[in-house]
Chains A and B, each alone.
Chain A
Amino acid sequence: MIKQDDITFVAAEAFKRSGLVLSADKGYLLESRLAPLARAEGFPSIEALIGAARRDRSDRLLWGITEALATHETFFFRDNTPFDLFKQDILPVLSRARGSSGKIRIWCAACSSGQEPYSLAMLLEEERARLGGLRVEIVATDMAPRVLEKAKAGVYTQFEVQRGLAIQRLVQHFEQTGDQWRIKPNIRQMVNFQKQNLLENFAGLGSFDVVFCRNVLIYFDADTKRQVLSRIARQSAEDGFLVMGAAETVVGLSRDFQPVEGRRGLYGRANAQLNTRAA
């Protein structure tokens, strides 16, 4: 068992760096997530890893710990609904509003190993004929360098490409490389990956028409949620959209985004238009 004051220390450091709220009863989570890091760093135990981080105030180790504690779970077309919303509600509305010579910018906040932005890129590629000359830029960010590396490489295991991804899409958008699968260059080039911590200033990313921020804020406390949502709103077009996880809401946290009726997880800025398809 990890000592309680080690847990408290790690929780405080992870919170300071990433906003991640780790409750005191999460000792088991610490054990399972820090064991691989302790091994990789050559420590005989998790206690030794935490001990060294405390003693040396090693920023590198403390970041490593924070990164290891964050949840990077993701898969292609996760939960389906957000991608249906994107294809059937968001894309037609924005492509009409921006016109065929226009451009839309999409941000995947906390994209982990890249499955979400690549899913959007595949959808866009499949919709290309209908989009005319509309240009689309996808910016995908995460605070964790290790998952970003993987995202940029766009190489996935056989297990990863079988969760959520239809076989036709695997055939159409991937190439096999040994026992791994690499996303094709035309899809990879549609996504611009950058390192970004949501607690830090992200105004430099520019303004977006659609922000995907799914299953991220659930790890933050209410103040951090409010603060991040407010800064996302500042980077959002007046008729832009926000997509959140199925179990999340902006209600009580932000007035900049309003829930779109009948579309779970979809929120719009004040001037957001909506398609007239039945809910």
Chain B
Amino acid sequence: MRTCLVVDDSRVIRKVARKIIEELEFECVEAADGAEALEACRKQMPQAVLLDWNMPVMNGLDFVKALRREEGGDKPVVVFCTTENDMAHITEALRAGADEYVMKPFDGDIIESKFQQTGLLRAS
């Protein structure tokens, strides 16, 4: 089964995201900040990363920059999922190597649509 790393410092958000992502038939791994997420990626590179922006220790933007420098770190599809919902943040995220961007609040339809956009899921 393919894995998706869910990175968010809110346990509640991680739980909601996990439920949605498991329904899309991904196995879920959780991390509470960018540094934990990077550790998880070094252990096993996931196929997808759902990534919050503002987190303690290492934020989402620094994580994606670091990930893209890792060996095999170009592979995972990185989908930001954040309350930062302005054009400047979106373009900065894309420039740093993110593939898609979800503006919170989100629901299952949006995650599914974004996973389709990036080819993680076939369009229904």
Which residues in A have some Cβ–Cβ distance to B below 8 Å? 79-81, 158-159, 162-164, 166-168, 170-171, 175-176, 179
A244 to B114, CA, bound (A): 24
Least Cβ–Cβ distance between B82 and chain A, in angstroms:
12
Flag if B103 contacts A162 (CB, 8 Å). Answer: yes
Shortest CB-to-CB span from B116 to chain A, Å, is 8
Question: Chain B, 87-102, contact with A by CB distance < 8 Å: what is the 0/1 string?
Answer: 1001100100000111
Cα distance A167–B103 in the bound complex, in angstroms: 10
Report if B109 contacts A (CB, 8 A). Answer: yes
User: How far does the alpha carbon of A176 sit from the alpha carbon of B101 in the complex, in Å?
Assistant: 15
Check B114 against A162 for contact (C-beta < 8 Å).
yes
Cβ-based interface call for B10 (8 A): no
B100–A167 touching, CB < 8 Å: yes
- In the complex, the chain B residue whose C-beta lies closest to that of A158 is B103
Q: A163-B109, A176-B87, A179-B85 are in contact. List 5 more A-B contacts (CB 8 A).
A: A162-B110, A167-B114, A171-B87, A171-B90, A176-B86
Query: Which residues on B sit within 8 Å (CB–CB) of A170?
Result: 90, 101
Q: List 22 A-B contacts (CB under 8 A).
A: A80-B116, A81-B123, A158-B103, A162-B103, A162-B106, A163-B109, A163-B110, A164-B113, A166-B100, A166-B117, A167-B90, A167-B94, A167-B101, A167-B114, A168-B94, A170-B90, A170-B101, A171-B90, A171-B91, A175-B87, A176-B86, A176-B87
Please give me the 4 A-B residue pairs with the lowest Cβ-Cβ distance, nearest first.
A80-B123, A167-B101, A166-B117, A162-B110
